[in-house]
Amino acid sequence: MQRRRGLKAKVWKTAVTTDRRGNTVTAAIEDGPYEVKVAVIPQRSARAEVPGQQQINVIRILVDPNLPDVNLWSRVELLGSTWDVVTPPAYHHGSRRTRHWGLDLRERP
């Protein structure tokens, strides 16, 4: 039920492209992000208490299993911030209602 009533997020898919130097690069593409509802689970965080330190926020989101081309190089916009996927998505198989992808995200500074 959380993924039905959860928070709205935009998830950018990835594609393999060629950069200016002729190298193949996997990166998030700008056209048409998926708009999904997610369940958010806090993982860990570290608050910046001294100038020069960085604040680290890591969360796990649970999304619908039907998101093709979402992987480690994808980008997510959630809670008014941009997040990077920090671990490969983990597929959790279950009944049709409970199967999902788990994505660990780190907030961009």
Domain ranges for the chain, please list them.
2-107
CA 27 to chain centroid, in Å, comes to 13
pLDDT in the model for residue 22:
92
CB 38 within 8 A of CB 61: yes
Average pLDDT along the chain: 83
- Closest C-alpha among 10, 2, 5, 3 to residue 81: 10
The residue among 109 and 41 whose pLDDT is bigger is 41
State pTM to two decimals.
0.76
Asked whether the predicted pLDDT for residue 24 surpasses 90, the reply is yes
Rounded CA separation 2/37 (Å): 8
- Split at pLDDT 50, 70, 90, the class of 21 is very high
CB-based contacts of 106, cutoff 8 Å, min separation 6: 56, 57, 58, 83, 84, 86
* Bridge partners (DSSP) listed for residue 77: 10, 82
Instruction: Say what the pLDDT of residue 53 is.
Output: 59
Residue pLDDT, tens place only, 45-91: 666 666 665 667 888 898 888 888 888 888 899 988 999 888 888 77
Nearest to 25, CA basis, from 12, 34, 14:
14
Q: What is the structure's pLDDT at 1? A: 42
Which phi and psi angles does 29 have, rounded to 5°?
-100, 150
Q: Say if residue 2's pLDDT is above 60.
A: no
* Residues in the chain, overall count: 109
Residues 2-107: name the CATH superfamily.
Bacteriophage SPP1 head-tail adaptor protein (2.40.10.270)
